[in-house]
Amino acid sequence: MGWNTWNAFGCDADEELLLTSAQSLIDFGLRDLGYNIISLDDCWSIGRNSSGYLVESPIKFPNGMPSMISQLHDMGFKFGIYSSAGTFTCAKHPGSLGYETQDADLWASWGVDYLKYDNCFNQGQSGTPKISYDRYNVMSQALNATNREIIYAMCNWGNDDPYDWAYLIANSGRMSGDIYDSFNRPDDRCPCTEAPGCAWPGFHCSIMNILNKIPSITSRTMSGYFNDMDGLEVGNGGQDDNEYVSHFSMWAINSSPLMIGTNIPTLSPANLAILSNPAIIALNQDPSAGAAVRKWRYLVEPDDNGQGEIALWTRIMDNGDIVVALLNAGNSSRTMNATMNDIFFDQRTAGAYKTPPELSETWNVYDLWANRMSNEEAQSILSGSNGTTANGTRTGLYNATATSYADGLQNNNTALYGAHVGSIAPSGPFSAEIARHSVGVFRLRSQGNANPRKRDEL
């Protein structure tokens, strides 16, 4: 989790922006909610010096990278750098192909903690999984050889099936072309709709486009390697509140890295409330480290973008709870129904059919958006007048710096469990009213008359 410069600022990122944004992340409680990586994207380097080392722009980084990185460390952040496994980066700044060891050594000496590693200008070294693997593996080995812990975030947009090999060498891998701030508008620049075998990932990919590439690669999200659905657009103005709730929820439930991609100091109360929901973040940080399963999807009446669909997603959590997301990407509000047979479809079809024990349990239902922070409370945090201690720590919010989400979940911290809204009788129906382009996210907890099976036991 963290903050990345690209979606909101493109090439216009400098030391002042990074330090100001870091301070706002602290002031608004976001660092302590877990957003603790400051990830600088493209356009920071002006070239190489006579010894071949990358040089930062002296205009953007007048005090040099090491000084800024050390300030960010002092503020409690990790620092992320960006490069490309090509001769240039995507914005045509110097890339690292052929300079992997030298660049990794430089970054380690600066104190870099995270590398986003892009795919532009790769000299045609792609086209088969093996060619891409070899090219990305050079940097993986170079990072490991530094002996500094550096998170390796591959960004090859799903080319050459990274789902089959990237977990061996990286910590995350982009699985789609670039996101843009639209809920579901199709765009010819993002031609792929299904992930595997996608030859031209492109860009201008909507939230629904990226989300609908996940179902076939669900099993490729695991502890240590995460499918990266790209940085968040929450706050950038292209979607309404319900759409941002859907975007944030579906990224979280699929364990995509949560990298905020907006201007932090000007965050609106509503957007702060979305990014700050600890019950949703806890899904993202759950020790199960898995992705959700789309159990069904139906097309419904289209909206102005010619799109309309509804879907049921579920995910089994580490403690045996099951999370249900009812996504209404249709054009009007509707009552959505899921049967226990749908929710436990995988248990039902595991091996020879027998009625899953989960169907004879009573389940408590917790609405994970019911305790969303009010706009008034969010506004008071933004204006620094409520719950902010002298050192900038918000008291009312969940503090993951002090207690990990895993520990909080185990201790039944109520901030992570939403609001109890009812229960479902054995095999009973489940339904909820879901607004247009919104999602209901519910945690079902067994009342305890059975021992729910976890995914790894199936």
Active site residues: 118, 178
Taking the complex as a whole, the smallest distance from the CB of residue 232 to ligand GLA amounts, in Å, to: 12
Compare residues 41 and 367 and give the one whose CB is closer to ligand GLA.
41
Question: For the chain, what is the HEC assignment?
Answer: CEEECHHHHCCCCCHHHHHHHHHHHHHCCHHHHCCCEEECCCCCEEEECCCCCEEECCCCCCCCHHHHHHHHHHCCCEEEEEEECCCECCCCCECCCCCHHHHHHHHHHHCCCEEEEECCCCCCCCCCHHHHHHHHHHHHHHHHHCCCCCEEEECCCCCCCHHHCHHHCCCEEECCCCECCCCCCCCCCCCCCCCCCCCCCCCCECHHHHHCCCHHHHHHCECCEEEECCCCCCCCCCCCHHHHHHHHHHHHHCCCCCEECCCCCCCCHHHHHHHCCHHHHHHHCCCCCCCCEEEEEEECCCCCCCCCEEEEEEEECCCCCEEEEEEEECCCCEEEEECHHHHCHHHHCCCCCCCCHHHHCCEEEEECCCCCCCHHHHHHHHCCCCCECCCCCECCCCCCCCCCHHHHHHCCCHHHCCEEEEEECCCCCEEEEECCCEEEEEEEEECCCCCCCCHHHC
**Of the candidates 2, 3, 6, 24, which one interacts with ligand GLA according to CB under 6 A?**
6
Residue 178 within binding range of ligand GLA, rule CB under 6 A? yes
Q: How far is Cα of residue 322 from the mean position of the Cα atoms in its chain?
A: 20
Residue 359 within binding range of ligand GLA, rule CB under 6 A? no
Compare residues 175 and 253 and give the one whose CB is closer to ligand GLA.
175
Taking the complex as a whole, the smallest distance from the CB of residue 90 to ligand GLA amounts, in Å, to: 3
Taking the complex as a whole, the smallest distance from the CB of residue 64 to ligand GLA amounts, in Å, to: 22
Taking the complex as a whole, the smallest distance from the CB of residue 247 to ligand GLA amounts, in Å, to: 16
Compare residues 90 and 97 and give the one whose CB is closer to ligand GLA.
90
Taking the complex as a whole, the smallest distance from the CB of residue 230 to ligand GLA amounts, in Å, to: 6
Which positions from 50 through 109 interact with ligand GLA, judged by CB under 6 A? 89-91
> Residue 123 is encoded by which pair of tokens?
């000299």
Compare residues 231 and 408 and give the one whose CB is closer to ligand GLA.
231
Which positions from 190 through 219 interact with ligand GLA, judged by CB under 6 A? none
Question: Count of residues binding ligand GLA (CB under 6 A)?
Answer: 9
Which positions from 110 through 139 interact with ligand GLA, judged by CB under 6 A? 118
Pairing mode of beta strands 78-84, 54-56: unpaired
Of 278, 285, 343, the residue nearest 315 (C-alpha): 343
CA gap 419, 210 in Å, rounded:
29
Taking the complex as a whole, the smallest distance from the CB of residue 276 to ligand GLA amounts, in Å, to: 24
Residues 13-42, one symbol each (x = binds ligand GLA by CB under 6 A, - = not), give ----------------------------xx
Dihedral sign, CA of 85, 86, 87, 90? negative
Taking the complex as a whole, the smallest distance from the CB of residue 166 to ligand GLA amounts, in Å, to: 15
> Residue 165 is encoded by which pair of tokens?
């090999």
Compare residues 86 and 278 and give the one whose CB is closer to ligand GLA.
86
For residues 178 and 203, the answer to whether their CB atoms sit within 8 Å is yes
Taking the complex as a whole, the smallest distance from the CB of residue 42 to ligand GLA amounts, in Å, to: 4
Which positions from 233 through 292 interact with ligand GLA, judged by CB under 6 A? none
CA gap 176, 274 in Å, rounded:
24
Compare residues 39 and 140 and give the one whose CB is closer to ligand GLA.
39
Question: Nearest to ligand GLA by Cβ — which residue?
Answer: 90
Compare residues 120 and 444 and give the one whose CB is closer to ligand GLA.
120
Which positions from 141 through 160 interact with ligand GLA, judged by CB under 6 A? 155
Residue 358 within binding range of ligand GLA, rule CB under 6 A? no
Total Cβ atoms within 10 A of residue 32: 20
Residues 429-448, one symbol each (x = binds ligand GLA by CB under 6 A, - = not), give --------------------
Taking the complex as a whole, the smallest distance from the CB of residue 308 to ligand GLA amounts, in Å, to: 28
Compare residues 61 and 82 and give the one whose CB is closer to ligand GLA.
82
Compare residues 5 and 277 and give the one whose CB is closer to ligand GLA.
5
Q: Which residues bind ligand GLA (CB under 6 A)?
A: 6, 41-42, 89-91, 118, 155, 178
